[in-house]
Amino acid sequence: MVIIRRNPDGSIASQEGTTEPTQSHPALATKRGMQAMADSGRGIPPLMSEIATKVNNAKDKPRKLKVLQDNDSVPLRQVLKGAFDPKIKWLLPQGDVPYQANEAPVGTEHTVLSQEAKRLYLFTEGGDSSLTRTKRETLFIQMLEGLSADEAKFLVTVVNKKVNNEYKGFTANLVKEAFGWDDNFMKKA
């Protein structure tokens, strides 16, 4: 085992018996990166359910916009487009989904919706037409059971297109304004 010691500037300290400092390896976290991870308290980005809760708890529209803009990412945009764009049709039954909520503590034994977002096309019209209805629903239930309980609940509200019912003030107009989208949920020209 090799113990890597760092200098105050973030570079790797010289090895025992040598006088030259070793250059910082690009694969290792920088001092700023290490500080950012320490400040955030965890190594994963905020869960989409946490972002939705922050939007819900924000007192006014400018604060709600700031929450969305501060957490802007491609997966968040994909999920919110699926939640609000009327042209996106989910090929899943409406209403409650019969799944077992994953009650493990957040950060353990979970997949994350921001990583699972790339697979959501499987459940939409025009996605993978080779899937049978039963297989599609089984895959969706497996996805929900892999997510934390809060994120699974959020994804069900997205599929049912009822995000505003669960998270007050989280509307299509708010999302369009936050991301600079037009009425077709595309970036304005």
- Listed as own residue / partner, the contacts of 179-184 with beta carbons closer than 8 Å and 24 or more positions apart are 179/68, 179/72, 179/77, 179/80, 184/87
114-143 residues labelled b (16+ CB within 10 A) or e (exposed): bebbeebeebbeebeeeeeeeebbeebbeb
How far is it, in rounded angstroms, from Cα 170 to Cα 83?
10
pLDDT per position as a tens digit, 4-59 = 777 777 666 766 555 554 454 444 455 565 555 555 555 567 899 999 999 999 99
Return the domain boundaries, the chain: 1-43, 48-179
* Mean pLDDT of all residues belonging to the chain: 84
Segment 65-96, tens digit of pLDDT: 999 999 999 999 999 999 999 999 999 999 88
pLDDT of residue 189: 78
